[in-house]
Amino acid sequence: MKNKNVINFAQKLSLINDYWSPKVVAQMNDYQFKLVKVSGEFTWHQHDDTDEVFVVIEGELDIHFRDRVEHLSCGEMYVVKKGLEHKPVAMKECHILIIEPKGVINTGDAGGELTADNDVWI
């Protein structure tokens, strides 16, 4: 019998239909673990009060900074330091785990049409 506390990323990702719309799958203290499907370019933004962790589960992700691009492949992670402007880009569909404090808005200071509803659990 499967333990209800075990979270299966593939099963949870199968429930996500929209790009750039993170869904919470777990919480540890004040930090949420969010799964998200991405494709194309996101918005330039920053988070003034927190670092943000990107873990690539499937596909490839480029994180653009004003002075460089960090390329992530499946199984790799990157910590974007607080206050650092960045723009995630995926040339093809990519599945990501994001770890950040509860309440962080996905578009940070930028807002706009890609701003997702916050604290949505699947």
Flag whether 121 is in a domain: no
Residue 118 lies in a domain: no
Q: What percent of the chain has pLDDT over 90?
A: 87
Is a pLDDT exceeding 60 seen at residue 120? yes
Confidence label for 108 from pLDDT (cuts 50, 70 and 90):
confident
The count of domains in the chain is 1
Q: What is the predicted pLDDT for the residue at 3?
A: 76
Note whether residue 24 is domain-resident. Answer: yes
Answer for the pair 20, 114: CB distance below 8 angstroms, yes or no: yes
Q: What is the CATH number of the domain that holds 27?
A: 2.60.120.10
- Give the Cα separation of 11 and 33 in Å (integer): 15
Residue 62 belongs to domain spanning: 9-101
- 115: in domain: no
Q: Long-range pairs for 27-30 at CB < 8 Å and ≥24 separation? A: 27/102, 30/101, 30/102
Answer yes or no: is 107 within a domain.
Answer: no
User: What pTM, to 2 d.p., does this model score?
Assistant: 0.94
